[in-house]
Structure 1
Amino acid sequence: MTELLLPLLSAMVSGAFATLFLFSAGYRLFNLKRAVAAVGAYRVVPAHLAWLVTFLLVLLEIIVGLWLVMGVKKVGAAVMAAGLLAIFAGAMIVNIARGRRDLKCGCLPGLHATVSGRTAWLNILLANIILYLGMMPRPTSFIEDWIGMALGGVILLLCISGLSMLQQPPVDQDEG
């Protein structure tokens, strides 16, 4: 049972993180000015480098996402994913230490979270999850691997959708 469960769990985690990074990169690409403004708002790089940092961030997210999907460079993909999450957490921690808690997190498209200790710790937790489970062997069967990856991606997108809906104000309904 364990011989199938851990590889399937590894495929699900890889699928979820691939979806996360590819989804975030796509969102940043289609909202480039907003993404550059978000990077600049963190004030961890000089303002004139915000475009370059945003471009590199998008490029790295695409590379990591594709490597996770394809199952190539598994250790490199897991380390790069964890590194990106650690960088995000570090930028949040720097701003928390500066007393700047009003910044939009920019963590996930569609979510309007602000920088907090909770979001920083969540990034650190996710970095550890991808390091541990992302390096485990994935299913040897192509179909089982892709089912696990798809399931992980779908679960992540459902979670994002649910969280996004919870953030929306309730709709007033007319009585009558």
Structure 2
Amino acid sequence: MMIDPIISTSAVLALSVTFASAASHKLRHPGWFRRQVHEYELIPGLMVPVAARALPIAELVIAAGLLWSTSRPYAGVLAFLMISLYTLAIAINLARGRKDIDCGCSGPAMQQPLQPALLARNLLLVIIALVALLPIIDRPLSLHDNFVMIAAGLVMVLLYTATDLWIANRPLLLKLSGEK
């Protein structure tokens, strides 16, 4: 199955921005992120500082690697694996009944308790990563095509951000409405 380069490039741009943004807040607040990694209780305590330092660096490498056609397949696979790893970490903690910890998804300014909606959001990211890996139809791209790729990538980032904000604020919205 081959897809149009507009679809693939839009997906790649959105993933790259998402990974760069995720790495940014983790690198700017290393102590906070180290606590987040520790709270998941999935790796031995001695490995927490190493993981907390390695994960955002890996996210930056993925973000950059997605932008070049020669490294895109490798970065796409790594993106798929990283999102799957994060999804598994969330799923394990939800299965343990640990909904009270912050997912660490959006930095220290916006706490998001673990909830099933994060699994659905990450599933969409996995699909976008898989779309970015599909081979593209070889065709010339016009200036209009370039504009559409950038605009579509931006729309995906904005939809991801809006979804993230909704998930983060959902408990508060339910509380305000009187629902549980």
TM class by smaller structure: 0.7 to 0.9
Q: Indicate if the aligned counterparts of 1:75 and 1:134 stay in contact, CA closer than 8 A.
A: yes
Residues 76, 129 of structure 2: 8 Å contact kept: yes
* Distance change in 2, residues 1:34/1:103 (3 Å): same
The residue number in structure 2 matching 1:28 is: 26
Superposed CA RMSD: 3.0
Letter in 1 for 2:127: N
Alpha-carbon offset, residue 154 of structure 1? 2.6
Q: Which amino acid aligns with 2:54?
A: L
Superposed displacement of residue 41, structure 1: 0.7
Kept in 2, the 8 Å contact 1:104–1:115? The answer is yes
State percent identity of aligned pairs.
Answer: 20
TM normalised by structure 2 equals: 0.77
CA deviation map 1:30-63 (0-9, x unaligned):
1111111111110101122111111211111011
Unaligned runs of 5+ in 1: 171-176
Distance 1:156 1:106, change over 3 A: farther
Aligned to 1:122: 121
Mapped to 1, the partners of 2:45 and 2:128 lie a distance apart of 32
Give me the whole-angstrom Cα distance separating, in 2, the residues matched to 1:94 and 1:158. Answer: 28
How far apart are residue 67 of structure 1 and its match? 1.0
**Further displaced range: 21-30 or 103-112:** 103-112
Cα distance in structure 1, aligned partners of 2:47 and 2:54:
11
Letter in 1 for 2:17: T
Q: Which residue of 1 aligns with 2:90?
A: 92
In structure 2, the residue matched to 1:81 is 79
Listed as ranges, the gaps of 5+ residues in structure 2 are: 174-180
Per-residue deviation at 1:149? Answer: 5.2
- Partners in 2 of 1:95 and 1:59 — Cα distance? 24
SS of the equivalent of 1:51 reads helix
Which stretch of structure 1 is more off in the superposition, 23-32 or 126-135? 126-135
8 Å CA contact retained: 2:10, 2:149: yes
Match of 1:52 in 2: 50
Letter in 2 for 1:158: L
Other-structure match for 1:135: 134
Determine if contact 2:19/2:60 at 8 Å carries over to the other structure.
Answer: yes
- The CA deviation at 1:145 is 7.2
Displacement of 1:10 in angstroms is: 1.0
The farther-off stretch of 159-168 and 100-109 is: 159-168
Whole-Å Cα distance in 2 between the matches of residues 167 and 117 of structure 1?
A: 14
| Letter aligned with residue 83 of structure 2 | L
Asked if structure 2 preserves the Cα contact closer than 8 Å seen for 1:14 and 1:152, the reply is no
Q: 1:15 to 1:148 in 2, by over 3 A?
A: farther
Partner of 1:83, secondary structure, is: helix
